[in-house]
Amino acid sequence: MWLGTRHECVGSSQKVSGACQDGVREFAKRRPRLAERLSGVAETLAESWEGLDVDVTAVRLSKNIP
């Protein structure tokens, strides 16, 4: 079964099963950090959109566009 990681699990091989479990553990450790980073990116993006609204309004005012 392909898990979308670097490891491919085939059958019930002890060695392969262990490799897949290691991959899951590694992902579980990184998950909170990934969520935190994504949250920061989303926050930054939202803040940049807020500034964009002001810029669009300023352009409209400077060109007398209602």
The β-bridge partners of 2 are 8
The 10s digit of each residue's pLDDT in 1-56 is 445 555 555 555 555 556 667 777 777 788 888 888 889 888 888 777 765 655 66
**d(C-alpha 3, C-alpha 32), whole Å:** 20
Structure tokens at 24: 């899951």
pLDDT value at position 65? 62
Per DSSP, the residues of 42-53 read HHHHHHHHHHHH
User: Would you say the C-alpha torsion 17, 23, 26, 30 has a positive or negative sign?
Assistant: negative
Q: What is the pLDDT of residue 13?
A: 57
pTM above 0.75, yes or no: no
CA separation for the pair 40, 45 (Å, rounded): 9
